[in-house]
Structure 1
């Protein structure tokens, strides 16, 4: 495929292919493994995404940072402990279907055909549309190619570069329900506080927001606009868990926060035979120059 001006192919040290996008409105990098956006920076804005400095981009290994695609299950497989956490889409090789560059930005379309397998006995077609402009947009569509219902949980597992987690506030959660994953069954159906959420320790919550979520950081404010989602995951591993994670520096938790657009927990979806579902998000930085 001939790529438009400003879109170039590259390869990591261990052979993973990626696309670099340079446009007057933004720059970005997308790996074909996992269809994963690992870098995005709008012009005159600070970098949006956090990427682990210990990541070495090896084939068939999940990339730590950017926006991994968790699909077709979120977290651990419900019945098979040996199945990969967060599914297999993030370590699968996607196909680049097309790239369009216009004055307003660059749009890329990637696809992944999925055949039935022991840990997921369905056939499906995945399509991801990535929009690179003064904001970053992702739209993931699942088309059920089988003749039975398909049960799906998924997330766009965005890691944000927040500079200093102790100065971050998460808004839009007022009065909404959440499941605290750290508390197990005792953490189901809790009620969010009235004010913004501050992170002062390990957090792993599935929240069910009733309004758009915002993130305030020392260098920018971020608005998340979603479609096809009634849940989000808020995650920071903090100190102890950071030491146990792969490709994650011991102090990495200080500068990152995951706010993941999702269909998980009580928001898992059932897609009928021949039907489709789209999960979409737009990340828009609203201000700069705070520090």
Structure 2
């Protein structure tokens, strides 16, 4: 795909682009956003926000130098869309679905974090205004996997400017009810996780996925890995980055949990799509619904996040 200007006015422009991994083995088509208040990029593979950098700021989203684009794998960094299930399929929502025998189901159809992050999305609309660039992405399907055998439509509303917002709409176009779990799996770029703090999670009950324990309340000293926790909270979060002297304020709508994750050095060393030392460059804070949410037949639900940068 050649680089073509899709829209262009006095406030900014959106152009097509092709992104490739460092060895040029995998590629994805996407968009580059240039606006008077920010720069950003997104991949149509996964409907995936790759980068967003407001004017005079450090990048807000981290992207691994060793990530792959396509190849039935999720992109490492940016904002993977985890849907219609969050986490390990076999230990999540659909293990309770007794109406389907998943023993012989192709594992690519029940991969971790669902199929949205490894599917091709389409651009429905682009609007450039004085304040921001709004991009609407859409994906439709039917009977894509035995785990979610309905007709559906997914839509993302992405707004890039001095702030960033992302809203995900899920429409059940079938005649039967369905459930989902999901998350906006944001990789936030920081100076160093050990010098990064989130005070709002220090007095919140959580499930520790590393130890399998529930209902712990403890002071969160920093965000250094290994850490993998599901917090029962939807309060507004301040990611305090002392190295870069900034606060990343993250708020969510219609989400019930925050997921905090960093693999730590030992685990990251065994992850081929995290470059050396990459685990020291980000913190994942995910606006999530980790418990089943019902979508009645013929209806639509949504969840969202907003990110604002403030000086420390």
Q: Judge same fold: TM > 0.5, yes or no.
A: yes
Alignment partner for residue 11 of structure 1, among 15, 18, 23?
18
Higher alpha-carbon deviation: 34-43 or 208-217: 208-217
Are 2:286 and 1:260 equivalent residues in the alignment? yes
- Aligned residue pairs: how many? 282
CA drift at 1:21: 0.2
Distance 2:18 2:285 in 1: 29
CA drift at 1:106: 0.3
Are 2:131 and 1:104 equivalent residues in the alignment? yes
Are 2:124 and 1:121 equivalent residues in the alignment? no
Alignment partner for residue 238 of structure 1, among 249, 264, 274?
264
Distance 2:152 2:14 in 1: 29
Alignment partner for residue 160 of structure 2, among 132, 136, 145?
132
CA drift at 1:209: 1.5
Residue equivalent to 2:206: 178
Alignment partner for residue 249 of structure 1, among 269, 275, 284?
275
Alignment partner for residue 305 of structure 2, among 268, 281, 284?
281
Kindly report the root-mean-square deviation, in angstroms, between the aligned alpha carbons of the 2 structures: 1.8
Distance 2:274 2:224 in 1: 19
Task: Write the deviation string for residues 231-269 of structure 1: whole angstroms up to 9, x where unpaired.
Answer: 0110000011102223112421111110000111xx431
Alignment partner for residue 32 of structure 1, among 7, 28, 44?
44
Segments of structure 1 that go 5 or more residues without pairing to the other structure are none
Alignment partner for residue 157 of structure 1, among 182, 185, 195?
185
CA drift at 1:28: 0.2
Are 2:251 and 1:225 equivalent residues in the alignment? yes
Are 2:117 and 1:90 equivalent residues in the alignment? yes
Retained in 2: the 8 A contact 1:237–1:253? yes
Segments of structure 2 that go 5 or more residues without pairing to the other structure are 21-25, 96-101
Residue equivalent to 2:216: 190
Retained in 2: the 8 A contact 1:16–1:59? no
Retained in 2: the 8 A contact 1:152–1:271? yes
Relative to structure 1, is the Cα distance of residues 171 and 43 closer, same or farther in structure 2, using a 3 angstrom cutoff?
A: same
Distance 1:97 1:278 in 2: 18
Residue equivalent to 1:55: 67
